[in-house]
A and B are shown apart, each in its own frame.
Chain A
Amino acid sequence: MSVAALRHPLASSWRRIPGAWRQPVAIVGLVIAAFWVVIAALAPLVAPHDPLAQGAALYQAPSAAHLMGTDELGRDVFSRVLWGARISIPLAMLLVALAFTIGGTLGGLAGYLGGWVDELVMRSADFVFAVPTILLAMAVVAALGPGLFHAVLAVVLVSWPGHARVVRGLVRTTMQSEYVAVGRLLGSPTHRALVVDVLPNVAGPVIVLAALEIGNAILLLSALSFLGLGARPPTAEWGSMVSTGAEHFEAWWIGVFPGIAIVSVVLAFNLLGDSLRDAFDPKAIIKARGA
């Protein structure tokens, strides 16, 4: 029996990804997410107006000239919603990347080294879990001063433990598996096992987590902006646009459309992550093989 044959069942889960695309829900998620990423990249080209220009009449209801109406300063809401994608999506991706780098490194070390390192990392993670995310994030932003960058830092601070837990668990189960032991018997050093055997197995679940976390990051970031702790007023950021809408109740279009943008982006990433999770779930794989 070759070493490859003993690999963790997750390693073969890459082959399951095409299965995920057979689900209509996954395709819808992918299409919407891709749409918003393109919008974020091309906003200056597709947006009909400057998101900060105050030329038009105030409080115009949606019309052909202004698809989503104009806001309290006569800015085009449609253009602002499109530009908003340029803030929320890249920041959420950056934030998840940061949280994963920090959480993944700490969790990987904790799982690999064990002992007091493990204790220290996991107890810190438990602490962050026990405090409601928004409370901690609010306290951090309030201390550092409001601003988009500080809000990102705050969300990273509350979201690294999720990554740390997942990576730690994966590293530990992989380290105990037969193929790592076989590798060690064949004389390859343990750190080589980490790169060759552990990393490929960790990748799948991490991708799922990242997709789900991007949605959560966008939600939390916009919530902080809504509370006035993230993006500051002139910036076309979805959360702060909803907050402006809250002050101008009769002009519903100011707040409703940025909210729909948030729902659609977050839902798309959640649909994507959820379908991928089904595909990566080792139990689902075993069931699929058995059937």
Chain B
Amino acid sequence: MAFVLTHLVPGDPAVANLGDRASSDPVAVRLYREHFGLDKPLPVQYVVYLGNLLHGDLGESEQSRRAVSTDLAEYIPATAELAITSMVLASLLGLTLGVIAALNRNKATDQIIRVVSLAGMSTPQFWLALVALYVFFYKLSWAPGSGRLDAVVLPPPHLTGLFTIDSLAAGQYDVFVNSLQHLILPACVLAAFNMGLFTRFTRSAVLEVLENDYVRTARAKGLPELTVVFRHILRAASPPILTVVGLAFGNVMTGTVLVENIFSWPGIGQYSYRSATALDLPAIVGVMLFVAIVYILINMFVDILYGVLDPRIRVA
């Protein structure tokens, strides 16, 4: 599917990548097309692509002149670190706010949380990123500027590619602190949208559970409120919340394109922006495939979690 779509678009990658001068030279264009197999008919290109895919070969990026899989392997850890951190932040905040809103339904607290969560979903991430940089980097100098580490700091020895984990594993605490400082601002910006989304869904999921008799029973038994919230309410409300968290992965990818560009974060977001604007088809298809696979894996994981949380689903 991704393959067909990216080839349907009318742009000419040869022209986009060779620049104006070279593309006026027919010999250069022909050589370029032969090199990337673009001179062959589409069905042939597709069969070749599928054959290579089976060997784990995603083709060669027309821009970086490296295998797309090499490019992806380099950029994925950076995005993973950013995306996971932001998802954890968004889930923690969203769940807390959502539960508080539901327990105070239609009171002032609920209305304030409603406005805060909708504000998170209404703020353009590119603008939030710039404001955050302006305030915390330019004005207050609390946060470092762009990139994953200060220019003078060497990356930790490669283990997972996540600098925070790798530096801890290598015992380089100064590198860990530095990478964390670089991580926190883009991760917070990226978390804003999903924080709002999770708050909304947690609120409605909890509201539905609150009406159940067993919640009233639990309270009547005199259980502490926190026990009721965690053991009785949150557990029953978690399946719909988990679904949204799984689906929110798409939002994170959209966010990373913008946030990575602003924070010069060397990840998939920047890579896909460069590839898309250069019409680098193998790279675009590679990113789409990667994202689709992660999307499927995350949602499979969510399905498994359902079973853990609700034994009734397990048999089916």
Contact = CB atoms under 8 A, between A and B. Distances in A.
Given A127-B5, A129-B250, A259-B124, 13 more contacts: A25-B111, A130-B291, A134-B257, A134-B258, A138-B257, A138-B273, A139-B276, A142-B276, A143-B279, A242-B130, A256-B131, A259-B131, A274-B118
B118 A267 contact: yes
A142 B130 contact: no
B27 interface: no
Contact of B272 (A138, A243, A266): A138
Given A132-B250, A134-B254, A142-B11, A263 B122 contact: yes
B295 interface: yes
Nearest to A28: B115
B277 A271 contact: no
A242 B291 contact: no
Interface in A1-54: 24-25
A166 B66 CA distance: 43
A131 B257 contact: no
B97 to A, nearest CB: 15
A227 B122 contact: no
B6 A139 contact: yes
A143 B127 contact: no
Nearest to B126: A226
Contacts of A25: 111, 114-115
A68 interface: no
Contacts of B292: 130-131
Contact of A242 (B1, B127, B284): B127
B311 interface: no
B134 interface: yes
A190 interface: no
12 contacts: A129-B250, A130-B295, A135-B272, A139-B5, A139-B9, A144-B9, A219-B122, A223-B124, A226-B124, A242-B130, A262-B127, A267-B118
A184 B13 CA distance: 55
Nearest to B261: A227
Contacts of A230: none
B123 A263 contact: yes
Given A129-B250, A133-B254, A267-B118, A246 B276 contact: no
A140 B122 CA distance: 24
B157 to A, nearest CB: 32
A143 B276 CA distance: 8
A116 interface: no
Given A135-B288, A139-B6, A144-B10, A227 B138 contact: no
Nearest to A135: B272
Contact of B118 (A140, A242, A270): A270
Contacts of A162: none
Interface string B272-316: 110011110000100110011001000000000000000000000
Please indicate which of the listed interface residues A142, A222, A242 has the most CB atoms of chain B within 10 Å of its own CB.
Answer: A142
Contacts of A266: 122-124
A252 B134 contact: yes
B10 A274 contact: no
A144 B276 CA distance: 11
Contacts of B287: 135
B124 A140 contact: no
Across the A-B interface, give the 4 residue pairs with the lowest CB-CB distance, nearest first.
Answer: A143-B9, A259-B127, A143-B11, A132-B253
Interface of B: 1-2, 5-6, 9-11, 16, 111, 114-115, 118-119, 121-127, 130-131, 134, 138, 200, 250, 253-254, 257-258, 261-262, 272-273, 276-279, 284, 287-288, 291-292, 295
Contacts of B1: 127
Nearest to B279: A142
A215 interface: yes
A132 B262 contact: no
Nearest to B134: A252
Contacts of B16: 142
A35 to B, nearest CB: 15
A107 interface: no
A245 B258 contact: no
B18 to A, nearest CB: 15
Contacts of A223: 124-126, 254, 258
Contacts of B2: 131
B258 A226 contact: yes
A130 B273 CA distance: 18
B124 A219 contact: yes
Contact of B253 (A24, A135, A252, A270): A135
Nearest to A268: B122
A140 B9 contact: yes
A271 B124 contact: no
B122 A270 contact: yes
A229 interface: yes
A140 B1 CA distance: 15
A267 B119 contact: yes
A24 B111 CA distance: 9
Interface in A183-223: 215, 219, 222-223
Nearest to B296: A130
A103 interface: no
Contacts of B114: 25, 274
A208 to B, nearest CB: 13
B257 A135 contact: yes
Interface string A138-172: 11101111000000000000000000000000000
Interface string A233-248: 0000001001101100
Contacts of A229: 277
